[in-house]
Amino acid sequence: MSRRSVRFADLGTWTYQRAWDFQEAIFTEVVDRKTANRKLPEAERVPTQDTLLFVEHPHVYTLGKSGDFGNLLADDERLKAIGAEFYRTNRGGDITYHGPGQLVGYPILDLDEYFTDIHRYLRTLEEVIISTLADYDLSGDRSPGETGVWLDVGTPFARKICAMGVRASRWVTMHGWAFNLNTDLRYFEYIIPCGIKDKAVTSLQRELGRPVDEDEVKARVAGHFARLFEVDLAETPVDGLLGA
């Protein structure tokens, strides 16, 4: 059986709203295609297309649909002073921060072509980051009951290096992960990250004691994503992702 191809684009720096709207447009095309296919004989169905987006956002805090607004510790005046925006989103999870030096990944996948299991999907995304950390001789891990990737789980020094929150409808995914590379961790002081009060946040830069080559990390993350989902990534121009 041939491997499924996933369109891949590194968007560079986009505002959160712009990237969210772009995700929603791709997501809607996939859902609409699946709906249309159900009305067609199998021989006439058009395959859905999967997409993986990498992006970096300007300073922004986002709150999941079931998150607690009280975990945002900055008022409007403080947000303006630190140059950050705030959005309520339709993803799972609580509050998190996105900003420069962070690798945000948004997979828009038709899980009917992989496995219809959101827990397995999240564990696979976590494994992508865990595998990348291993490339830098860091031992990433899962924390029971807490989505994302951590270091030193089960110790007083447990700290989160990658947050995750997704949305899925009709087994199509969107949103994804936020992996701290050269991130300014001071911005996490204005929230209770993911609603977890007793654990710290870290970055690859802090753990290694040096700035990291973000392009190198992106290549490693993309490689592990392709390996774990058993797909081929096809670099695609941004203007080729919609209406195809």
- Residues serving a catalytic function are 194
Tokens 């403080």 correspond to what residue? 78
The DSSP line for 220-240 is HHHHHHHHHHTEEEEE--GGG
Tokens 């705030």 correspond to what residue? 86
Helix 118-135 and helix 214-229, axial crossing angle in degrees, nearest 10: 140
**Strand (E) or helix (H) holding 24:** helix 16-37
Give the span between the Cα atoms of 170 and 33, in whole angstroms. Answer: 11
Handedness of CA 141, 210, 60, 158 (dihedral sign): positive
179 Cβ contact list (under 8 Å, min separation 6): 102, 103, 104, 105, 129, 132, 149, 161, 162, 204, 217, 221
* 205: three-class secondary structure by DSSP: helix
Q: How many DSSP H helices and E strands does the chain contain?
A: 5, 12
Q: Tell me the sheet residues that pair with 180.
A: 102
